[in-house]
Amino acid sequence: MALGVSLRDRFPVLSRTVGDGKRLVYLDNAATTQKPVEVIHAVSGFYQESNANVHRGLHTLSEEATTLYEGARKSLGFWVGVDETEVIFVRGATEGINLVAQAWGGENLGRGDRVLVTVGEHHSNLVPWQMACKRAGADLILLPLGEDDLIDKEALARELERGAKVVAFTAQGNVLGAPEDVSGVCQMARTAGALSVVDAAQAAAHRRIDRDEWGCDVLALSGHKMMGPMGIGALVGTKTFLEGTPPWMGGGEMILDVRDRDADWAPIPAKFEAGTMNVAGAVGFHAALDVMRALLDEGMEDHISGMTRLAVDGLKARDGVHLLAKGEPHGVVSFWVEAAHPHDLSHLMDQEGVAVRAGHHCAKPLHRRLGIQSSLRASFYGYNDEDDVEVFLGALDRARAYLL
Amino acid sequence: MSLDNLYRRVILDHYRSPRNKGRVKGENVIGEGKNPSCGDDLVLSIRLEGDDLVAVGWEGEGCAICCASASMLTKAIEGKRVDEALAWAESVKALVRGEEPKEDLGEVEALAGVAKFAVRVKCATLPWVALGIALDGEGEATTE
Ligand SMILES: Cc1ncc(COP(=O)(O)O)c(C=O)c1O
């Protein structure tokens, strides 16, 4: 599978036009990636040929569906280097983090406990902790980021010394885009006896991750940011963490035995998968991992770095354009433009077929610290190429000129 | 660009050279409006004498559509009575929803182009909703 323009015909949506016949230049990949035919066919194939509920029947379809669903779990477990029982399917990173904050936090957080997150978090790794801390009477501390946009290790060490129950942080932010030193942070957390929770939503879209290399207790990711379907993702936790955490939702499939007034929980992973799961999503996610493997083998990570650098250089060369990142972003470039509101610019650029994101990108505390309300963000993936970056920069220039 | 219908010349003109920017002297009524997800954030500053809006200013930040709408609002309602201003606000809200306004709204009719862009309707209406709240309600306006 080649990268760039020759990859595009595998992604049907990329051949459509927008506005008055403009080629779609899709640069909102950090929000969600487009889907290759392999994924689309896997999802529709499941419904056409094997649809049945899993773990619930002895008939052929149910067995097939179960095999497909568990096959997806095996594949994802293999992908991140863990045992398949350590993979819990959820809706996405958001649900995974909420599971940890509510189920683990509900049992383990108490008055005066301290939870560390960073100022660069997506709301999905901030708001669940706000809620858990409020409920428990615990304190939430927002760690600063250093000049390289990475966690300030001295501040982290100071806060850990004062005691912390959790360090929850992103492996790669969706605004600043700097790949974090995940194993370094997890090691510090472990030494201090704090639970490490990694938001891998962006990181997992750009490289293969290895849970043991990171050394985290738990990580969360979203299939839709990795070319998979929406509504499927995973929480990956160590056996110790998952076995020691009470279930989150109660219902079918998560039980061993149910009596009138109480129940026993099924072993992991079923303990955390109450109710009918997104089986078609898991099947599509499995297909996405296969595509991901092929694209990473082709050098997708470097390909994305190259486009990111080109965009950064192009933006830096323009007067009145300010980058949010101080460090070196990967895959995303967030910026603001003097005397032009991001919504106007993005709307005008859309008329040229260029899809970029305008807003706070679910990171309001970060924007507030940077002294801005909102920004523009371009984010790249394997099917983009340097020509897309040029079209983007040109469209930005014309949109600015229009508003001037 | 096919957005010319949205960014009409008069809108761009109000955006580039906003009218009545700043708080008015003797301000005795204010209306605040915020659309947190896009960052539109404005305050209408009004001096009311009896039933008359004798001075209207605005300050804040937002996209071109929101700022132009606020700027046009100040021109449109200065000197009007409260009931007239509220009737205007209703007509403008109808206009940007794509309905025929009941009265001649003058240059404000340039906002009609917004109707075709659902995501921008809230930008255009924010100042007018803030006006309604200033004159006859309480709290802070949002059109999200
Ligand atoms: C860094 C980061 N964390 C978490 C999320 C939340 O992912 P989802 O909306 O798929 O749950 C996102 C995506 O928006 C993200 O970029």
Residue A169: give its domain's CATH number. 3.40.640.10
In a domain, A178, yes or no: yes
Q: Provide the domain count of chain B.
A: 1
* Whole-number pLDDT of residue A193: 98
- Residue pLDDT, tens place only, B24-63: 999 999 999 998 877 789 999 999 999 999 999 999 989 9
B60 touching A (Cβ < 8 Å): no
Same domain, A249 and A356: no
DSSP classification of residue A180: P
Q: Do B123 and A343 touch (CB under 8 A)?
A: yes
Query: Which of A341, A349, A357, A404 is most worth mutating to test chain B (most B CB atoms within 10 A of its CB)?
Result: A341
CA pair distance A247, A263, nearest whole angstrom: 11
Q: Tell the burial category of A302 from Cβ atoms under 10 Å away from its Cβ (0-12, 13-18, 19+).
A: exposed
Q: Does residue B103 form part of some domain? A: yes
Q: What is the CATH number of the domain that holds A383?
A: 3.90.1150.10
Residue A247 sits in the same domain as residue A341:
no
Please work out whether the CB of residue A165 comes within 6 Å of at least one atom of ligand 1: no
Which residues of chain A does B69 touch, with a Cβ-Cβ cutoff of 8 Å? none
Give the pairing of strands A375-379 and A357-359.
Answer: antiparallel
The predicted-structure confidence for A257-306, as pLDDT tens digits, reads as follows: 999 999 999 999 999 999 999 999 999 999 999 999 999 999 999 999 99
Half-sphere exposure of A61 toward its Cβ, with a 13 Å CA cutoff? 10
The percentage of chain A sitting over the pLDDT mark of 90, rounded to a whole number, equals 96
Whole-angstrom Cα distance, residue A59 to residue A38? 27
Q: Please give the residue of chain A at the shortest CA–CA distance from B65.
A: A344
Whether A374 sits inside 8 A of B120 (CB atoms) is no
Cα separation, A325 vs A302, in Å, equals: 19
Same domain flag for A307 and A289: no
The minimum CA-CA distance between A346 and chain B, rounded to whole Å, is: 11
Which ipTM was obtained for this model? 0.87
Domain-ending residue, one of A266, A293, A320: A293
**Mean of pLDDT values over A328-340:** 96
Of A232, A261, A293, which residue is a domain's last?
A293
Which of B16, B36, B62 comes nearest A341 by C-beta?
A: B62
Question: Do A149 and A239 fall within a single domain?
Answer: yes
Q: Is residue A36 part of a domain?
A: no
A123-170, pLDDT tens digit by residue?
999 999 999 999 999 999 999 999 999 999 999 999 999 999 999 999
Residues A280 and A332 in one domain: no
Residue B122: phi and psi, rounded to 5, are -65, -25
pLDDT at residue B138, as a whole number: 66
The pLDDT, as a whole number, for residue B84 is 94
Write the CA distances from A284 to A41, A228, A237, integer angstroms. 8, 6, 22
Residues A82 and A23 in one domain: no
Among protein residues, the one with the nearest Cα to ligand 1's atom 7 is A93
Average pLDDT, chain A: 97
- The answer to whether the CB atoms of B61 and A347 lie below 8 A apart is no
Name the residue with the closest Cα to ligand 1, atom 9.
A94
Residue type, B53: L
A202 and A232 part of one domain: yes
Kindly tell me the sign of the dihedral angle through the C-alpha atoms of A153, A159, A163, A164. negative
Kindly indicate the confidence band of residue A370, based on its pLDDT and cuts at 50, 70 and 90: very high
Query: Do residues B97 and B143 lie in contact, with contact meaning Cβ atoms separated by under 8 Å?
Result: no
Query: Is residue A325 within 8 Å of residue A403, measured between CB atoms?
Result: no
**pLDDT above 80 for A59:** yes
Name the more confident of B144 and A354. A354
Give residue A220 CA to ligand 1 midpoint distance, Å: 9
Residue pair A164/A133 in contact by the 8 Å Cβ criterion = no
Q: Residue of the nearest CA to atom 13 in ligand 1?
A: A31
pLDDT of residue B1: 46
The reported pLDDT for the residue numbered B2 is 61
Task: Give per-residue pLDDT as tens, B102-113.
Answer: 888 999 999 998
Catalytic residue among A133, A186, A216, A362: A362
> What is the phi/psi pair of residue A206, to 5°?
-115, -20
Same domain as A274, residue A352 = no
Residues A106 and A74 in one domain: yes
Name the minimum distance, in Å, from the CA of A21 to any CA of chain B. 12
Provide the number of CB pairs (under 8 Å) joining chain A to chain B: 48
B65: domain CATH number is 3.90.1010.10
Mean pLDDT of B76-84: 95
Task: List chain A residues with CB under 8 Å of B39.
Answer: 341-342, 359-360, 373-374
Q: State if residue A222 touches ligand 1 by the CB under 6 angstroms criterion.
A: yes
Pocket residue to mutate for ligand 1, from A28, A32, A94, most atoms within 8 A of Cβ: A94
pTM score of the predicted model: 0.94
Residue A170 Cβ < 6 Å to ligand 1: yes
Residue B120, Ramachandran bin (φ over 0: left; ψ between -120 and 50: alpha; else beta): alpha
Domain end position, chosen among A269, A293, A317: A293
B18 is a domain residue:
yes
Position A218, amino acid: V
Q: Is A133 a catalytic residue?
A: no
